Structure 1
Amino acid sequence: MSIKFKLTVLSFFQFFVWGAWLTTLGSYGFGFKGWTGQEFGVVFMTLGLGSLIMPALIGIIADRWMNGERLYALMHILYGITLFILPALDAPSSFFWILLLSMCFYMPTIALSNALSYRILIDNQLDVIKVFPPIRVWGTVGFIAAMWITNLVSDPQSPLDAGKVLGQKISAITGHAVNANQFYIAGVFAVLLGLYALTLPKCPPENKSKGSTSWAEKLGLNAFKLLGNYKMLIFFLFSMFLGAALQLTNMYGDTYLKDFENIPQYADSFVVRYSTMIISISQISETLFILAIPFFMKKFGIKKVMLISMFAWVLRFGLFSYGNPEGFFWMIVLSNIVYGMAFDFFNISGSLFVETSTDKEIRSSAQGLFMMMTNGFGSIMGSLLSGWMIDKFYLLPDGTKDWPGIWMVFAVYALVVAIFFALLFRHKHNPAELQSISH
């Protein structure tokens, strides 16, 4: 089995075990559990809390004390085990604590999977800039596959008999509604992924045998020194703001489409019944834009690529604001297509930028820091503020949500972030610096 194929399988299931429940958690909480906007915002905040310390901590452990592939395997097995507990929980408070534990195990693996892939590719003398995006694209395919399986299994009118049978069997065994299947699907494959990771090439710590002259070095905290550099500080700060935008679309995308059922003319529309599949167009779009990253990074550099991402977020939210299942269905579709550029040009390019801008001794830690800012502080900010804002200003008298107003506020937010980033981030593009990642 080739190195590229092994990493492709890793990438596929890394995001499969997240995609099975991430975009449908809102529909599960609002529709199935009856949570309020603030309750859901607090529950979704677990992604941010799990990313505050754990990615950086796990990166430090991988850099200094434990083989990366073994640490990765352990985290996924523990993640899978905790997912099995979630369907039995009804109260938002108890759900919060178990999901928080799950996120403490899962969120670090996103950065760690990148660090492992980069390390293995470099050790095998492969050009990461060229080779990694086609591998990473299979992570998006995995996310899509999980979303489709969840949607088909959870739909009582599924056109696939297999989907009906699987849903009925799981419900009979667990005693819970089919909506909870998302957690069982993710849990099973998370444990299997952990076992599979043990077959990867060994990735011993880069810093294991090196002496330390300070407590910061002994604890592996050198990556935090990057915040003392103006360019890196601004990069990480705006990564946080864009991380908030990403969480907004993860939190509310599927719920927004499902809520068209509250409008009689759209109640039985294709959009309502197959909302998760429609949202998956976003991930299908990712597969195309990921492959374009090497060209854009080398041609335009990180600043312009991130600006493209920010303006794509403006379009993503703005199109959702005006879309509907009939005359303006094309806006919903186009919004999902634009998402691919918005996500990839920020998340994947940002990860590659961190890789090329840091010393190899702290790269796992630096990737963890990037994750902490995006899916940590950014996620918390997006979850709490959006939940409060919706309950406070965008609930209509009949209890439904003013989605056009909600998405328009999000679009204005992304526009303001883009303008300030253009003014404050100073970076002179040098195509040659990207070559260092493959050596």
Structure 2
Amino acid sequence: MTIKVRLKVMAFLQYFIWGCWLTTLGSYMINTLSFSGADVGWVYSTKGIAAVIMPGLVGILADKWLRANRLYALCHLSCAAALFYAAQVNTPSLMFWAMLINAMAFMPTIALSNTISYYCLEKEGLDTVTHFPPIRVFGTVGFILAMWSVSLLRFELSNIQLYLASACSLLLALYALTLPSIPTARQSQEKSWASRVGLDAFVLFKQPRMAIFFLFAMLLGAVLQITNTFGNPFLHDFARNPAFQDSVIVRYPSMLLSVSQIAEVVFILAIPFFLKRFGIKRVMLISMLAWTLRFGLFAFGDPTPFGFTLLLMSMIVYGCAFDFFNISGSVFVEQEVSPRIRASAQGLFMTMVNGIGAYVGSILSGMVVDYYTVDGLKDWQTIWLIFAAYALLLALIFTFAFRYHHQPEKPPILQNSH
């Protein structure tokens, strides 16, 4: 089995685990466990809390002391235990702590999986810009298949989704031990204490371009959290209208949402072309404009034939919105930093996107949704238009704030700045 095939298996399992529960756990907690909306919000906030703390710390461990593949296996073993326990609890407080432990272990594995892939590809002499996206696309395929499996097997309102995720986490932990070992950075006596504990990754903030990049990573992370948290409840709310109660959207909301991940497959494969042709700045601008369309189309979508077309278009542009920042951003960080802080830098990127950004996004977007909720009815059109305006404002500011000179005749991010 070639290294690319082995990495594809890793990516598939990594995101299959997440797809088992990320978009459906809220429905299980509200409809089966009778949790309140606030309870669900707190449980989902664990992802942001964990991502603020853990990816950077685990990245430091992978850079300095523990081989990345072994640390990756340990994290997923912890996820398996936490998810297994979460499947058995029925109170908000216990669910919060169980999912917090799971998030503390899972969030770092996203960056670690990237680090493992980059190292293995470089070791084989393969260009990461060209070969990483086709590997990462198998993660998206895994997420899609997980969503479809949970929906078609009627596990959306059952704790079986958590048991399934737990079993797959255990499988991936064992599989990770078979991956090539990644050496830690050699430590010389001349290195400072800050370097020894991995704080040297934060030197990236001294570079204006990287500081601005990480700032917008945080702001776009907030956008991603909005759609993860409220996309499914938005579709479920169409059931309040008697004319839409039996629509496909209401019966299988996860199936419709999975079109977003299907679209990712296409856009991931397009990343090498767009990065080399247009550069990271234009690719990120395209992402922000796609987020604007995502929310704008949500604002006017509904289960009618025309409205369904708008919702379907929203799912398709999501693929561009997500991939053209999250995947391209990861590749950009990989190529801009020194190999000795590779894992730390990936962890920092993940912290900004899925940590600070996700936490702030969940809190503020929740306030917006509550503000436009009267007698239990949400003014979804206004809510989505506000989010669309936010994404458009980000694009306008980013145009002038982020300075990056792209040279089309050369791969845009293959030059190491160190």
TM range (shorter): over 0.9
Query: Residues 26 and 252 of structure 1 are in contact (CA less than 8 Å); yes or no, is this contact kept in structure 2?
Result: no
Residues 104-115 of structure 1 aligned to structure 2 (within 5 Å): 104-115=104-115
Question: Is 2:194 the partner of 1:197?
Answer: no
Query: SS of the counterpart of 2:414?
Result: helix
Task: Give the structure 1 partner of residue 194 of structure 2.
Answer: 216
Task: Give the structure 1 partner of residue 203 of structure 2.
Answer: 225
- With over 3 angstroms needed to count, the CA separation of the structure-2 counterparts of 1:407 and 1:30, relative to structure 1, is farther
Question: Is 2:355 the partner of 1:406?
Answer: no
Residues 136-175 of structure 1 aligned to structure 2 (within 5 Å): 136-154=136-154
Question: Which TM-score applies when normalising by structure 1?
Answer: 0.91
The one-letter amino acid paired with 2:377 is: T
Cα drift, residue 433 of structure 1: 4.8
Q: 2:262 aligns with which of 266, 274, 284?
A: 284
Cα drift, residue 150 of structure 1: 0.8
Query: Residues 318 and 411 of structure 1 are in contact (CA less than 8 Å); yes or no, is this contact kept in structure 2?
Result: yes
Q: Which runs of 5+ in 1 are unaligned?
A: 156-176
Per-residue CA shift, 1:66-114, capped at 9, x if unaligned?
Answer: 1111110110111111001113323322211111110000000000100
Distance in 1, matches of 2:17 and 2:232, equals: 18
The one-letter amino acid paired with 1:349 is: S
Task: Give the structure 2 partner of residue 46 of structure 1.
Answer: 46
- With over 3 angstroms needed to count, the CA separation of the structure-2 counterparts of 1:336 and 1:2, relative to structure 1, is same
Query: Residues 282 and 336 of structure 1 are in contact (CA less than 8 Å); yes or no, is this contact kept in structure 2?
Result: yes
Distance in 1, matches of 2:342 and 2:190, equals: 17
Task: Give the structure 2 partner of residue 385 of structure 1.
Answer: 364
Task: Give the structure 2 partner of residue 253 of structure 1.
Answer: 231
Distance in 2, matches of 1:307 and 1:433, equals: 16
Query: Residues 27 and 258 of structure 1 are in contact (CA less than 8 Å); yes or no, is this contact kept in structure 2?
Result: no
* Pairwise CA RMSD: 1.5
Distance in 2, matches of 1:102 and 1:44, equals: 11
The one-letter amino acid paired with 1:340 is: G
Per-residue CA shift, 1:345-364, capped at 9, x if unaligned?
Answer: 00000000101110000011
Task: Give the structure 2 partner of residue 172 of structure 1.
Answer: none
Query: Residues 222 and 362 of structure 2 are in contact (CA less than 8 Å); yes or no, is this contact kept in structure 1?
Result: yes
Cα drift, residue 275 of structure 1: 0.7
Query: Residues 121 and 128 of structure 2 are in contact (CA less than 8 Å); yes or no, is this contact kept in structure 1?
Result: yes
Query: Residues 32 and 157 of structure 2 are in contact (CA less than 8 Å); yes or no, is this contact kept in structure 1?
Result: no
Cα drift, residue 260 of structure 1: 1.1
Distance in 2, matches of 1:314 and 1:212, equals: 49
Cα drift, residue 416 of structure 1: 1.2
Per-residue CA shift, 1:169-228, capped at 9, x if unaligned?
Answer: xxxxxxxx95212111111001100100111111111x1343343211110111111112
Question: Which TM-score applies when normalising by structure 2?
Answer: 0.96
Task: Give the total of aligned pairs.
Answer: 413
Per-residue CA shift, 1:39-62, capped at 9, x if unaligned?
Answer: 322221111111012101111111
Question: Is 2:45 the partner of 1:66?
Answer: no
Per-residue CA shift, 1:137-160, capped at 9, x if unaligned?
Answer: 0000000000001111226xxxxx
Which is further off, 21-30 or 110-119? 21-30
Q: 1:326 aligns with which of 268, 293, 304?
A: 304
Question: Is 2:240 the partner of 1:240?
Answer: no
Query: Residues 212 and 218 of structure 1 are in contact (CA less than 8 Å); yes or no, is this contact kept in structure 2?
Result: no
The one-letter amino acid paired with 1:334 is: M
Task: Give the structure 2 partner of residue 352 of structure 1.
Answer: 331
